[in-house]
Amino acid sequence: MSNKIKRAIISISDKSEIKLILNTLKKYKVNIISSGGTSKEINKLGFKCTDVSEYTKTDEILDGRVKTLHPKLYAGILSKRDNENHEKELKKNNYEAIDLVIVNFYPFEEILKNTKNHNKLIENIDIGGPTLVRAAAKNYKYTTVLTSPHQYKEFILDLEKNKGFTSLELRKKLSQEAFNSTAYYDSVISEYLNNINNDYFPQKKTIHGNLVEVLRYGENPHQQSAIYSKNSKLDISQLSGKKLSYNNYNDIYAALNISRTFPKNNGTVIIKHANPCGVSINNSKIESYKEALACDPVSAFGGIVSCNFKVNKKIALELNKIFLEVIVALGFDKDSLKILKKKKNLRLIDASKLSEQNFKNITSHFDTLLLQSADNKTFTKDNFKVVSKIKPTKKILDNLLFAFNVCRNVKSNAIVLSRNSSTVGIGSGQPSRLDSCKIAIEKMNTFQRIKENDIIIGASDAFFPFVDGIETLVQNGVSAIIQPSGSIRDKEIIKFADKLGIILVFSKTRHFKH
């Protein structure tokens, strides 16, 4: 079913490309109703329109809060053109059908980024716009609705193809997009109100996002996948290389979760399958990369490197020596780009503009959503307590906190071994904590040259329920251990640590990562 466009109402905040649509409407002799800034812009561009107040014979009131909320408009939008009773009621009330609604909303989301003024934000909650859009979208069988300048070209092509009419197929598609727009708009507002009321888990939860890209597939080729962002685009930008995959994004964010907990412009993380296989915060940028790689060079092959600093020529030459899928950094200088771009498939990601805002983790299973706050708070020494008789030096304590910080980003059960703020062995994802200890030790013994006077640190993401894990670590050179408290055997663990003559530090917080 095609529908002739005779009358349109236009009320838009985003006036880009409005001239394009006005030229088309003039061509097909469409009468335009408008108000406020939109009406002024239409007249300024040399086109005619009827003011809403003139059309409804009702002035806007309440400082513009009530402009388009009038039965003459909504009856015109919502009437069924093939319903005799509707036609009679329109004639009886001297109303006319409105065939096209072009509306986009007050820019609440943009204003939210630039102000915390609550009153200003409230005044930028659009009422009339979403109401017009919902009415037109509901009545898509007869009414066409446009909510974005991105839709204008498609609408114009359809209108020209059908000689002043729109196709039902297009109207149905635009209706879907309209309801997506109103749902998104309302969800931004509801999240803002939830946040200012500290209600992070409300009775009804909506999550909004903009499509960034439909990916080739998900974790596996038979799975569909896409990435969305609350912003119009991602805070990270790809500078070179193949298109990113679902697994690439997953690994990139796993790497950034760790590197953004480091001191500014410091540290290197190497990720494989969302787990770190090497981490270092050596003050020398080139040495931090070399030490991270040395932790497990076999697993690093085909992995993702995240440099918490700007990559230069010297570092690029080192990075170029092995096969990597992705390099993430806080920018790349010109020389490094020349070197790294020679590998056409190597993806280079600039994360220098990544937002530091608090965020929540979302997991979905069987049409349910699991939400939790991110485990990304900066550690303070108040969160830890030395419980052994032997006390750590400042250097050892800093090393313990480094290992524990890495540990919270390793899949549970997690064990991290470190030396001089660089990992030397990582055991991850095992049902048994003892097995994770053995894997970390095996990695260390395979790839590291441990000297007799080296101080090896052990970190666990949760408490050791039995002494066997600690005993295994100490037998393999670990002399200081950090773990969460909370076991019924905490006293037994402390007593055992003192018997072995090692340093033991308890954390007040556990850090499982599943």
Identify the sign of the CA torsion 177, 179, 185, 187: negative
The one catalytic residue in 15, 86, 138, 242 is 138
CB 60 within 8 A of CB 52: yes
**Alpha helices, DSSP H, located in 162-312:** 168-196, 246-259, 285-295, 297-300
Of 400, 403, 409, nearest in space to 428 by CA:
409
How far is Cα of residue 71 from the mean position of the Cα atoms in its chain?
41
CB 331 within 8 A of CB 308: no
Q: At what angle do helices 152-161 and 168-196 cross, to 10 degrees?
A: 160
Q: HEC profile for 357-407?
A: CCCEEEEEECCEEEEEECCCCCCCHHHEEECCCCCCCHHHHHHHHHHHHHH
User: Strands 275-280 and 268-272, how do they pair?
Assistant: antiparallel
Q: Which two tokens stand for residue 297?
A: 């060079």
Element containing residue 19 per DSSP (H, E)? helix 18-27
The one catalytic residue in 173, 208, 273, 341 is 273
- Judge whether 138 counts as a catalytic residue: yes
CB 383 within 8 A of CB 484: no
Return the number of other C-beta atoms located less than 10 Å from residue 113's C-beta: 8
**Residue 96 to residues 90, 120, 145, 507: CA-CA distances in angstroms?**
6, 36, 17, 71
Of 164, 99, 426, nearest in space to 292 by CA:
426
User: Strands 303-307 and 347-350, how do they pair?
Assistant: unpaired
- Judge whether 273 counts as a catalytic residue: yes
Q: How far apart are the first and last CA of the chain?
A: 52
Read off the DSSP letter of residue 334: H
Q: Which amino acid is residue 448, in one-letter code?
A: Q
How far apart are alpha carbons 455 and 221 in whole angstroms? 45
Catalytic residues: 138, 273
